[in-house]
Copies of this chain bind each other. A is one copy, B any other.
């Protein structure tokens, strides 16, 4: 792939605060964005995510008051994705989800399942102390979801689509709505982030970043 095209996409991307509500994202393009989320890497390959594509107008209306700037992005975005991260009951080393995942999805032979399971337990218990609390494990699941977030926004930018990542919302409020109106099981899932896609209405502000020398250090 051309190096310049990659950089052009990174410079094109910005947090788009308001979209042109008359422009729809082509279904094929949206599928491509979501496919790069699905193919994203995650710790141990356990894909601790689920992506909800919000299409219901009633749901959008319900979300507006609990999302910052929800008045601007939610009604104008062509697509809104809510990423759910899996919690303790799915992600703990001895869960059914993990056991099934290794056999059914990763198709690992029995001895590898045992070995990988052993490493995963050690990883969760010792190295990063992920089992310290429900929150710690949830945050770790969320980290993996942010890999997919970066990839979705980059893919969008590469095909000329704007995006806006959203962390600014009343988490409990959003989760309450999702449980009530979309049947989301909050014992196993929590909201990691939202991200809106569409086409910009206005020119973005100039991108600012720290200088390379402040961010990258050779040791």
Q: Which residues of chain A have a CB within 8 Å of any CB of chain B?
A: 1, 3, 5-7, 9-11, 13, 15, 28-29, 32, 34-41, 43, 45, 47, 49-56, 59, 68, 105-107, 119, 123, 126-128, 132, 135-136, 139-140, 142-144, 146-151, 153-155, 158-159, 165, 167-171, 178, 181-182, 207-210, 212, 215-219
The binding surface of chain A is classed by DSSP as helix
A8, closest chain B residue (CB): B1
- The oligomer's copy count stands at 2
- Is the beta-carbon distance between A45 and B208 smaller than 8 angstroms? yes
Tell me the complex Cα distance, A140–B139, Å: 7
Tell me the complex Cα distance, A190–B129, Å: 14
- 14 further A-B pairs in the complex, CB-CB below 8 A; given A7-B39, A53-B218, A136-B139: A1-B159, A15-B45, A38-B212, A52-B217, A55-B219, A59-B219, A107-B208, A123-B168, A127-B168, A132-B135, A143-B146, A147-B153, A149-B150, A151-B151
A138, closest chain B residue (CB): B139
Q: List 10 A-B contacts (CB under 8 A).
A: A15-B41, A38-B216, A41-B150, A47-B209, A47-B210, A53-B216, A53-B218, A105-B209, A144-B146, A150-B151
The residue that A39 contacts in the complex, of B11, B43, B158, B170, with Cβ under 8 A, is B11
Tell me the complex Cα distance, A146–B151, Å: 10
- Is the beta-carbon distance between B34 and A10 smaller than 8 angstroms? no
- Is the beta-carbon distance between A41 and B5 smaller than 8 angstroms? no
